[in-house]
Structure 1
Amino acid sequence: MFGNVLLRGLVVGALLSLALSLAGAASASAKTFVVGPVSLEAPDDFKPVAGNVPAIRQDSSGITIEASELPLQALHEWKGPPFLQFLKSLGYSNPAYSDGSLKRAGDYTYVLADAKGAKGPESRFLLVIGGDGRAAILTAYAPKSEIANGHASRASIESVLATATVLPANGAPAAKP
């Protein structure tokens, strides 16, 4: 009986040690990226994408996150049915608000939608945020095929979007409290 208790204690200790080391490894692989007017935390295998719209991309999952500055009034105007209709006019299908699904503080607008991308159907995640007298929109997207095969996930995209903050006009990240 004492042997079983000792063995269970060793197994629990080993599993705890493994879990702590994996948790440390996961957080160690996060990196701060500045994407246009926004700062965010993403896995370190995301890379900047050259183009007209500031973006980062993770090749292994097909996830791309773009960020653009918006007029400050967009924080109030890009809400409600008119914004969803606007997205439909841009070719998005099934746009729907997903209030409260991101683990982030402050006022934001979050919409999930589908769209046709260069590699076929995509899931799109649109986040409108503000701060320091500025507003921005982040559009994250991944091919539905990459989500279906498990290389990309809504949870992984939302974990990055939850960290997004608008940079001050001088581009320097705000000090963390």
Structure 2
Amino acid sequence: FTEIDTTTDLSISFSTDLDEDSIPGHWVVTNSYDDIVLTSASLKDSTTVTIEPVSGKWEKGETYTVNGTAFTTEGSSTTISETFTVGKTKSSIPGQVSDLEAFLDGSYIELSWEAPSGNVTGYYIYYKTNSMNDYLRLTSTVSTTYSTYESNVQEDYNDTSVKFIVLPYNEAGTAAISEAKPISYTFDE
């Protein structure tokens, strides 16, 4: 036991066959605050206990202690008390969105895009007008669409057009702004 990533199930291997019925209910995981973490323990194969957090992932940077007893098919038992740290994530920074579109739907500017492959937590939407040097963050969303009143945007930005970019993000980071492909939206006069 040393360090695992946020999405890896904890596996504890033994040299002898274990009694499958004795695994559930005999394993407790606590965090660094001594709070019990909801987990599910099961027998992966006849000699390996797998423990996974009910939430689906361990908290990055947290230290956990696992305590449990494994009973063999012959009736003997082994008690384990080990500590491990979650230090990394399997996720990589997401790639760029594709097929970014901006169009007028009634009185709304609608943005839509295709998600990149891999793990995405959400999307940051940035804008830039002709008179601006850099992009500014407008909002964030977990959806692959966003809409806002055209009149609000036109009044706020006081320009003839606006460019939008969408940057996906996850626990590993945010897609590079330098690689984003902007979409331009021109206001009706």
TM-score, normalising length: structure 1: 0.23
Structure 1 or 2: larger helix share? 1
Structure 1 or 2: larger strand share? 2
Structure ID, larger Rg = 2
* Structure of higher RCO (CA pairs closer than 8 Å, 6+ residues apart): 1
TM-score, normalising length: structure 2: 0.23
